[in-house]
Chain A
Amino acid sequence: MTGRRRWSLTKWVSGTFSVFALLALAALLVLFIRQSLPVWRQEGWGFLTGKRWFYRQEEFGLAPMLHGTVAVALVALGLAAPLGIGAAIFTAEFLSTRLRLIVKVAIELLAGIPSVVYGLLGILLLRDWVYEAMERFEPLSGDTLLTGGILLGVMILPTIMTLSDDALRTVPASQRLAARALGLNSTETVLHVSLRQALPGLVAAILLAVGRACGEMIAVFLVVGRQDNQWPDKLFSAKPLLEAGQTLSTKLGSSETNIAYGDPLHWAAMVALGLVLLALVTFITAIGVRLQRSPHET
């Protein structure tokens, strides 16, 4: 904006509020680091790799929860990514503008369904379906990592769909016309032009959805069984998916947070857990955002 610049009341007020917001953000980071120091001092890197979490014995290891988080996120992604991107290709490339808008509005509306409502559906419906479908593998109950993953997959589906659709729409129409003029049909245009150009945006959509999946608590909390110390014997097998598990965020949401509150070391362990979750999600989200906003050069 043009106009003479000087310190005015408006500038002071908005400056103060902005500094306040940025300080709050900084405080979040600083407090999480400071309050988790005791457990880093005791466990060191073992906090990340330790397979046992018994707070009464003052043993704190995150590995089973990291496994749980990765497992539910991968199941969710395996379900939602192909379906969501497929659906986005259809809405962005084959639907008329009007229909596309209607579908998009509906999908964004559905992206807003609260996670506790998904959790309710999970606990009263999905849990039983998973148990019945998997009966021959003899799961102990319907509360499994798989159930959490499927529920998360449904939850992130609208996110992947709408972000992928946006990514595909950023490919200029002139590129598509050029491809069609060269004799490609609309499918070949999508495969060779749109998808290739929208690739960073599609990866961003997936990363942002994964970031959300890792941090999602309430819905997973209700169906995942919340069984501690479930480190699988074989890391790369599907068997642990049919057992109850725990993710980083469900641990933070459990009543153990209230129990830990009075005990400095235990509290430090819970806060450190939060810090690891924060680092993980921020890392994934930041890459996603960077990819999303990078210009398409080719």
Chain B
Amino acid sequence: MRRKFIHHFFRLATGLCAAAACAVLGLIVWAIVKRGWPAINWRFFTEQILLVGADGGIFYNLLGTGILLVTAFCVSAPVALSLALLHGVYLPPKRRGTLALLLYILNGVPSILFGIFGMIVFVQFLGWGKSWLTGGILLGFMILPTVTIALMERISAIPRKFGEAAAALGLRESQIIRAVILPQSVGGLVTGSLLGLARAAGETAPIMFTATIFAGATMPSGIKESPVLSLPYHIFILAQDSFDPAVGSKLWGTALTLLMLVFLLSLAALPARLKLKQPAHHD
């Protein structure tokens, strides 16, 4: 009797926990969609901000976030590939754990510290002022662990026989890398980058002091003193003083846009992640 009671009680309690957690998170999405949806139309994406966010759209914010993401990808991809090769090919197995631990620690570094680091290096040392390039580099550095770890997992999933077959054909190590490892790990690069960019798109802390401003920037034309607008910083600034209902509506619209962007990026990574457990593909 008692056993049965505990059993049912436990199932019920954990089930309620799961239901509550899903409900809270579902409500969050619903709250944003409900308030943001009315603001969204074609003009919202194609016009620039007017009246301090009360009118117009978020074209240059989208553009700025796009520039930051493309830059972050260009910075992180080659470095992540190199680190993954170092981990999978060049390093002796004993050292691999250390590299992985370093990456996990880098992954945990609070994003605001990247902002301060960027201020020291790019603003103080290089005198760039606020620049899109600083933001892209910092975001690229920030998502480096995500991209690298996805690549490392993919490379270690390549069956040994692939490399052995290539070596038996007389290929040198560098040829094996180009002919076997790189083609087999493209999926990891795409998945890792999408996940990383999904995180980078919503980050405010690394770019607020170094790369982005609230209004008055369009397409950057140089490196020094050329900031961009961005979606998260727009929300961050407006959230602090939004008593004007018109601003409020545009604000929720921006939040919904950002949310959709992040969800799209992580959903795009999903099929490859679900397939990750399967063996490497043969073409």
Q: Which residue numbers of A lie inside 8 Å of B, CB to CB? A: 1-6, 8-11, 13-18, 20-22, 24-25, 27-28, 31-32, 35, 82-87, 89-91, 93-94, 101, 103, 105-110, 112-121, 123-125, 154, 157-158, 161, 185-188, 190-191, 208, 211-212, 214-218, 222, 249, 252-253, 257-258, 261, 270-271, 274, 277-278, 281-282, 284-286, 289-290
Question: Is the beta-carbon distance between B201 and A114 smaller than 8 angstroms?
Answer: yes
Decide if B267 is an interface residue (CB 8 Å cutoff): yes
Q: Name A21's contact: one of B79, B199, B248 (CB within 8 Å).
A: B79
Which has the most chain B C-beta neighbours within 10 Å: A14, A27, A158? A14
Q: How far is the CA of A187 from the CA of B12 in the complex (A)?
A: 11
CB distance from B29 to the nearest CB of A (A): 7
Question: Is the beta-carbon distance between A3 and B110 smaller than 8 angstroms?
Answer: no
Question: Is the beta-carbon distance between A86 and B173 smaller than 8 angstroms?
Answer: no
Decide if B41 is an interface residue (CB 8 Å cutoff): no
In the complex, chain B residues whose CB is within 8 Å of the CB of A271: 116, 120
Decide if B272 is an interface residue (CB 8 Å cutoff): no
Q: How far is the CA of A35 from the CA of B125 in the complex (A)?
A: 12
A187-B174 contact in complex given A103-B22, A161-B21, C-beta closer than 8 Å = no
Question: Is the beta-carbon distance between B113 and A274 smaller than 8 angstroms?
Answer: yes
Question: Is the beta-carbon distance between A1 and B163 smaller than 8 angstroms?
Answer: yes
CB distance from A121 to the nearest CB of B (A): 6
Q: How far is the CA of A130 from the CA of B28 in the complex (A)?
A: 17
Nearest-neighbor residue (CB-CB) of B137 within chain A: A24
In the complex, chain B residues whose CB is within 8 Å of the CB of A109: 263, 266-267
Question: Is the beta-carbon distance between B176 and A281 smaller than 8 angstroms?
Answer: no
Q: How far is the CA of A274 from the CA of B116 in the complex (A)?
A: 8
Q: How far is the CA of A222 from the CA of B235 in the complex (A)?
A: 11
Question: Is the beta-carbon distance between B32 and A277 smaller than 8 angstroms?
Answer: no
Question: Is the beta-carbon distance between A215 and B112 smaller than 8 angstroms?
Answer: yes
Q: How far is the CA of A17 from the CA of B105 in the complex (A)?
A: 19
Q: How far is the CA of A6 from the CA of B176 in the complex (A)?
A: 13
A9-B86 contact in complex given A185-B3, A217-B112, A261-B119, C-beta closer than 8 Å = no
Q: How far is the CA of A178 from the CA of B201 in the complex (A)?
A: 47
Number of B interface residues, CB 8 Å? 90
Question: Is the beta-carbon distance between A211 and B266 smaller than 8 angstroms?
Answer: no
Question: Is the beta-carbon distance between A257 and B24 smaller than 8 angstroms?
Answer: no
Question: Is the beta-carbon distance between B172 and A4 smaller than 8 angstroms?
Answer: yes
Decide if B51 is an interface residue (CB 8 Å cutoff): no
Question: Is the beta-carbon distance between A187 and B7 smaller than 8 angstroms?
Answer: yes
Question: Is the beta-carbon distance between A86 and B32 smaller than 8 angstroms?
Answer: no
A1-B89 contact in complex given A117-B259, A215-B108, C-beta closer than 8 Å = yes
A119-B18 contact in complex given A1-B176, A253-B208, C-beta closer than 8 Å = no
Decide if B85 is an interface residue (CB 8 Å cutoff): yes
Q: How far is the CA of A4 from the CA of B203 in the complex (A)?
A: 44
Q: How far is the CA of A215 from the CA of B8 in the complex (A)?
A: 39
In the complex, chain A residues whose CB is within 8 Å of the CB of B266: 108-109, 112
In the complex, chain B residues whose CB is within 8 Å of the CB of A188: 3, 7
CB distance from B69 to the nearest CB of A (A): 13
Question: Is the beta-carbon distance between A117 and B235 smaller than 8 angstroms?
Answer: yes
Question: Is the beta-carbon distance between A94 and B202 smaller than 8 angstroms?
Answer: no
Nearest-neighbor residue (CB-CB) of A223 within chain B: B239
Question: Is the beta-carbon distance between B113 and A277 smaller than 8 angstroms?
Answer: yes
Given contacts A28-B113, A87-B20, 5 further A-B contacts (CB under 8 A): A22-B102, A90-B11, A101-B274, A118-B28, A218-B204
Q: Name A281's contact: one of B18, B90, B110 (CB within 8 Å).
A: B110
Question: Is the beta-carbon distance between B112 and A252 smaller than 8 angstroms?
Answer: yes
Q: How far is the CA of A135 from the CA of B209 in the complex (A)?
A: 37
CB distance from B207 to the nearest CB of A (A): 11
